[in-house]
């Protein structure tokens, strides 16, 4: 199915089911995991399922490709911003032989297998690393906070790989039809909310440009790719 047939499919599904897909504005609705504090077991299941989803959807491979291109190896240190319980960071460290440290508002769970620091990536000082990654975290921040987060990363890292969703009817329709039915209730609901809270390609690029304008170092390489079917967007920045 190509892009335009998917748009038609999305339109037909919307009319048939009475869905209202209003994506012109970012949704302000909070995700369930942001609003409530689930017990440890529920949280673990949600993050593990999210990690499997990253694998199926190719998000993990997309991050690995960019880390390899940036030369990450045995002597490197990777910082994962908004790392959850550190599942993707663990795989990155195993595969690339690098050291890893995660940062998350929630801090580490009892059996975390990577070092996780409890911190706000927007305002707290971050651990020093060669490369920072941030996976489906950017949409949790409003534009001003995201600008501050990128500038904060520049103060402690030489590169950033930021992967997030794209606010677009195609991924929202695909998620609701084919992915949500396979997920737990929290991830099914939060996944749809995340697409509705995500930035469009243009919005994210404007935010990144504004952030880079105020950084201490000059960005020597900036790339912004959007995957087929708007499944993800990835911004890669390298500072001098």
Positions that interact with ligand SAM (CB under 6 A): 47, 50-51, 54, 82-84, 88, 103-106, 120-122, 135-137, 140
User: Of the two residues 3 and 144, which places its CB atom closer to ligand SAM in the complex?
Assistant: 144
CA distance 46 to 49: 5
User: Of the two residues 104 and 130, which places its CB atom closer to ligand SAM in the complex?
Assistant: 104
Q: How far is the CB of 136 from ligand SAM (least distance, A)?
A: 5
User: Of the two residues 91 and 229, which places its CB atom closer to ligand SAM in the complex?
Assistant: 91
Q: How far is the CB of 22 from ligand SAM (least distance, A)?
A: 22
Let me know: does 72 contact 78? Beta carbons within 8 Å. Answer: yes
CA distance 188 to 182: 8
Residue 115 burial by Cβ neighbours in a 10 Å radius (0-12, 13-18, 19+): middle
Q: How far is the CB of 87 from ligand SAM (least distance, A)?
A: 6
User: Of the two residues 10 and 196, which places its CB atom closer to ligand SAM in the complex?
Assistant: 196
User: Of the two residues 103 and 207, which places its CB atom closer to ligand SAM in the complex?
Assistant: 103
> Please, which contacts does 23-28 make with residues 24 or more away whose CB atoms are closer than 8 Å?
23/167, 23/168, 23/169, 23/172, 23/196, 26/167, 26/196, 26/197, 26/198, 26/199, 26/203, 27/193, 27/196, 27/197, 28/197
Q: Which residue is nearest to ligand SAM (CB)?
A: 82
Q: How far is the CB of 190 from ligand SAM (least distance, A)?
A: 7
Q: How far is the CB of 53 from ligand SAM (least distance, A)?
A: 8
């Amino acid at each position: 199915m190509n892009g335009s047939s998917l748009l038609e499919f999305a339109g037909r599904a919307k009319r048939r089911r009475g869905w209202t897909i209003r994506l012109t504005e970012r949704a302000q609705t909070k995700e369930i995991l942001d609003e409530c504090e689930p017990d440890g077991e529920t949280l673990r299941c949600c993050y593990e399922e999210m990690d499997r989803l990253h694998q199926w959807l190719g998000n993990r491979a997309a991050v690995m490709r960019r880390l390899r291109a940036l030369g990450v190896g045995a002597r490197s240190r990777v910082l994962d911003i908004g790392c959850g319980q550190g599942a993707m960071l663990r795989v990155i460290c195993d595969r690339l032989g690098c050291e890893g440290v995660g940062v998350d508002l929630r801090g580490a769970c009892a059996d975390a297998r990577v070092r996780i620091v409890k911190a706000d990536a927007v305002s707290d000082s971050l651990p020093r690393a060669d490369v920072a990654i941030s996976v489906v975290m950017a949409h949790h921040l409003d534009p001003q906070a995201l600008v501050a987060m990128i500038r904060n990363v520049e103060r402690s890292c030489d590169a950033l790989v930021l992967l997030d969703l794209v606010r677009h009817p195609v991924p929202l329709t695909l998620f609701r039809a084919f992915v949500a039915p396979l997920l737990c209730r929290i991830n099914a609901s939060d996944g749809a909310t995340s697409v509705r809270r995500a930035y469009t390609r243009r919005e994210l690029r404007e935010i990144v440009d504004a952030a880079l304008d105020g950084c201490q170092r000059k960005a020597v390489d900036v790339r912004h790719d959007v995957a087929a079917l708007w499944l993800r967007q990835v911004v890669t920045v390298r500072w001098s």
